[in-house]
Amino acid sequence: MDLERSPLARPFPDLQGIDGVTLRVARARYKNWDRADLTFAELAPGTSVGGVFTKSACASSEVELGREQARLGKGRALIVNAGNSNAFTGFRGREAVEQIMAQVAEALGCEPSEVFVSSTGVIGVPLPKDKAREGVAAVLEAEPCGWEEAASAIGTTDTFTKGAGASAMLGENRVALAGIIKGSGMIAPDMATMLGYVFTDAAVEAAFLQEMLSKANAATFSCITVDGDTSTSDTVLAFATGRAGNAPLTSWDDTGADAFYAALLQVCRDLAHLVVRDGEGAQKFIEITVTGAESDESARRVGLAIANSPLVKTAIAGGDANWGRVVMAVGKSGEPADRDRLSIGFGGTWAAKDGQPLADYDEAPVAKHLEGQDIRMDVDLGIGDGRATVWTCDLTHGYISINADYRS
Amino acid sequence: MDLERSPLARPFPDLQGIDGVTLRVARARYKNWDRADLTFAELAPGTSVGGVFTKSACASSEVELGREQARLGKGRALIVNAGNSNAFTGFRGREAVEQIMAQVAEALGCEPSEVFVSSTGVIGVPLPKDKAREGVAAVLEAEPCGWEEAASAIGTTDTFTKGAGASAMLGENRVALAGIIKGSGMIAPDMATMLGYVFTDAAVEAAFLQEMLSKANAATFSCITVDGDTSTSDTVLAFATGRAGNAPLTSWDDTGADAFYAALLQVCRDLAHLVVRDGEGAQKFIEITVTGAESDESARRVGLAIANSPLVKTAIAGGDANWGRVVMAVGKSGEPADRDRLSIGFGGTWAAKDGQPLADYDEAPVAKHLEGQDIRMDVDLGIGDGRATVWTCDLTHGYISINADYRS
C-alpha cells in the first residue's frame, strides 16, 4: 500500500555527524521490497548507553534483551531490522536476535551484550535467520551513510523520515546530539514509544545518561499518543560516545549537566512531535495542556484521556469545538476532578469556565483556530498545581483506510 | 444528519405490558425536531428501585440526584428527556431537574425523591426550564403508549429502537420483565452505561433489587464498549412494581430469586448487545471471550483492552485475522499475562498457541468466519481460572463520518 506523505510532515533537518558514530545500511529484504531495511550504527569504544522500553507484558525478545543490556550501560553497536518486529515468536525469535548480537560482536571484537538490536514490523513471524545473517554481513561492509538514509531505513509505515538535533556547551566543550525515530501507528502513552535513537559525542556516565533519558522520556515520548495502542517493541536508546572531550557528566551538579539535559529534552520532544505528525491519517497536530490538576502525573493522565478519546479526536478532525466531549474525557479519566471548577479553551479562548459554558463565549476565534493544522487546547481542573502537556493527532478516515481497508 | 439503520439492527420484540407501569410520551421540543422527546413511566405505589450510574467525575445533576434517590429505593415515576443531556450546566442544570421532580411529584402526590429523571443529548446546554415545564404538563395528560413508542422517544442518535423482555416463575407466580435502552456512541466500559430501564411486575425488596442489578450490570453493561468513551449521564434503573403478587424477594435464598436473576440478567444482556449492535458505524458484532486470566476482573480488563483497541477493531472491519494486534492489546492492558502462554483464536479456530503462531494454522475457516457479521474471538492467557466475555463492534469509516464530518 502506498501511503501519502503526511500533511503535517517536516523536512529532514541538517544534522551534523556525531564523532564516534558511523552509520551504515543494507538490504536484508525482510519483506518483499527493494529498499534498505537493516541499519547499523557503529559506536566508538567507551560509548555509554541509556534506554527506555515498552511496558507491554508481551514485549519482544529485542526489548527483553535490550533492557538487560541497557542496565550494563555499554554499547558498541546498534542494529535495527525493519519489516518484521519479531515479537510473539517465542524461542525462535530470541535465537535470531542472539545470532545477530554474536555476529556483530565477533566482527567488532566486543561483547554480544554491547550490541543492541531492535526490530519493527509485523508481529508473529520469527525474524528469518538466514536473511538476518546475510544482511548483517552486508551492512558490516557497507559504505558509511548519513542520518537521513539511516532514518529512512528504520521506517516502516512512516510517510516521512524523522530526525532532530541540538547542541549544548559543557563548560568549554560544545557537544552535539542527533536523533532519529520511526513510528506512526500503534503509538500510545505511558511508556517509551516507538523506535527512537539519540546519539551524542558528549561524555556522559551511563547511570546518569539513563537518569536523564528517563526524565526526558516522561515529558516527551510518554506524553504522545496516536491511537492509544502500545507496541510490543517500543524502544528509545541514547548513546554517548564521549568523543567531545568534556569531563564526563556524572550528576546534575556537574558543569553543563543542565545544558546537556535541555538539549536532550529538546531532541526527544522534537522526535516525539514528529511521530505525532506522522500519526496514521493525521490532518491536525494537537497540543493539550492540562493545569490545576492534583499532581503532574494526574495532569498527564487527564491529558492522555482527552488525547485518546475518539470522540474528541473526531471532533477536532471536523473542526468542531465540542468541549462537551472534553468534559466527558476528563470525567472518564478516573483522575480527581471537580465538574464545577473545570475550564476548557481552544487556541487561547476559553469556551467554558468553572463548570459552565461561558455566557459571552465568542466561537468565531475558536472556529478560526480549529481550521488550522496546529491545534491548542487548554484544560484547567482548578483543584491543584499539577500540569502536563501532551500531544496527539486527529482521528480521520485516513486512519480507518490505513488499518481496515488494506490487509496487513 | 440522517443516519442509516445499523446493518446489525434487530426488530423490536413483542413486549407485554408490565402491571403497575404506564408509559406516556410527549413533545418538549428540546431540539428543533418534531418527534416525541419526553418519556414518562408512571409506577404503582410501592415500586422498588435499583440503579447503577456512570463513574464519570463530571456526571450530570440527573446522575448525582438519581444516585441519592436510588439509595432510598422507592420510585413512582421516571422522566427521560432526549436531545439535551443537561450535563456540565452547573446550578442552572440542577434547577431544571428539581423543577421536573417537583412538578411530577405534585401531580402524583408523591415525594420528589420518588421521581427519577434522566437526560441525554448535547453536553453543556442547560435544559430549558420552560420547555421542560410545558413538556411535563403535556406528558402527564398524554394517552398511554406501548414499549416501542417509549423506546423510540428516549433515543437520540440511535438508528433503531431497542427493547428486551423475559419472564420467570417465582414459585407459582409468573413475573414479567421488560426493558428499553438507548445509546450508540460515547459507550464505554467499567460502569453502568447509557440510559437503560428495566421494569418488572415482580415484588422485589429495593436493597435486593439493587444487589441483583449491580451483579447483572457487572456482567453485561460493564462488558460492552463502542468507543471507550464514557458518557457523563450513563444510567440503568430497574423498577419492580410488585403487582405480580409473589412473596417479595429479599435474598438469594428466596424461592424464585435465582430464576428472577436469570431473567434480569438475560434482559440486561439483550439490551447491552442491542447497544453494541447500534454502535456508531458498526458493521460487525464482536464477542471476545478471555479465559485463563488471573481473575474474572482481570479477564474483563484484558477483554476490554482488546475491544477498545482501534487497531483490533479496524482489523476486524477489514476482515483481517490480525492476531498480532490482539497480542499488542493484551500486552498493553497492564494485566498479568505471559507472552509464552498466550493463545488466540477466531470463530473457534486457534491461530496462535502458547506464544507462537500455530505451525499448521489454517487461515481459510478464519477468513470465512471474519466475512460474517457476528465475530467470535477467543483469548486464553494460560495463567489462571479467570474468565469474562465482552462485546464490541468494529471501527469503520461510518464512525468517523458520524463524529467528524457532521457538526454536533
Confirm whether pTM is higher than 0.90: no
Q: Residue A200 catalytic? A: no
Interface touch B320/A92, C-beta < 8 Å:
no
Instruction: Give A-chain residues touching B371 at CB under 8 angstroms.
Output: none
Question: Measured at the alpha carbon of residue B182, what is the angle toward residues B176 and B186, in degrees to the nearest 5?
Answer: 140
| CA distances, A56 to each of A89, A187, A192, B369, B403 (Å) | 15, 12, 10, 29, 31
Per-window interface: A 43-82 vs B, CB < 8 A: 54-59
In whole angstroms, give the CA distance from residue B324 to residue A122.
7
* CB burial readout A19-38, b (16+ within 10 A) else e: bbbebbbbbbbbbeeeebbb
B371 close contact with A: CB closer than 8 A? no
Interface touch B408/A352, C-beta < 8 Å:
no
Distance from CA of B74 to the nearest CA of A (A): 28
B239 close contact with A: CB closer than 8 A? no
Other residues' Cβ atoms within 10 Å of the Cβ of residue B59: 23
Nearest CA in chain B to A309: B229
User: pLDDT for B155-208, tens place per residue?
Assistant: 887 888 888 888 888 888 888 888 888 876 665 533 333 677 888 999 999 999
Q: Out of A193, A200, A232, A396, which one is annotated catalytic?
A: A193
SS3 B181: strand
Assess contact for B149 and B23: CB atoms under 8 A. Answer: yes
With a threshold of 0.90, tell me whether the complex ipTM lies above it. no
Interface touch A88/B334, C-beta < 8 Å:
no
What string of pLDDT tens digits covers the 408 residues of chain A? 567 888 888 889 898 899 999 999 999 999 999 999 999 999 999 999 888 877 777 788 888 898 899 889 899 999 999 988 887 887 888 999 999 999 999 999 999 999 999 898 877 788 999 999 999 999 999 999 999 999 999 888 788 888 888 888 888 888 888 888 887 666 553 333 367 788 899 999 999 999 998 888 888 888 887 776 666 667 778 889 889 889 999 999 998 899 999 999 988 888 888 888 888 888 999 999 999 999 999 999 999 999 988 889 999 999 988 888 898 889 878 888 888 889 999 999 999 898 888 888 888 999 999 999 999 999 999 999 999 999 999 998 888 888 886 554
Q: Are strands B77-84 and B38-43 parallel, antiparallel or unpaired?
A: antiparallel
Q: Out of B161, B193, B225, B235, which one is annotated catalytic?
A: B193
| Amino acid at residue number A267 | V
Rounded (to 5) percent helix, strand, coil in chain B? 35, 25, 40
Residue A334's φ and ψ, nearest 5 degrees, are 80, 0
- What are A380's strand-pairing partners? A291, A343
Nearest CA in chain B to A307: B229
Residue B277's φ and ψ, nearest 5 degrees, are -65, -15
Interface touch B56/A309, C-beta < 8 Å:
no
Interface touch B317/A400, C-beta < 8 Å:
yes
A15: DSSP letter: P
| CA distances, B257 to each of A20, B209, B215, B247 (Å) | 76, 10, 13, 11
Interface touch B328/A227, C-beta < 8 Å:
no
Nearest CA in chain B to A341: B90
Among B90, B232, B332, the residue with its CB nearest the CB of A229 is B332
Count A/B contacts: CB-CB distance under 8 Å: 219
In whole angstroms, give the CA distance from residue B303 to residue B224.
10
Interface touch B400/A397, C-beta < 8 Å:
yes
User: pLDDT for B294-320, tens place per residue?
Assistant: 999 999 989 999 998 888 999 999 998
Nearest CA in chain B to A339: B58
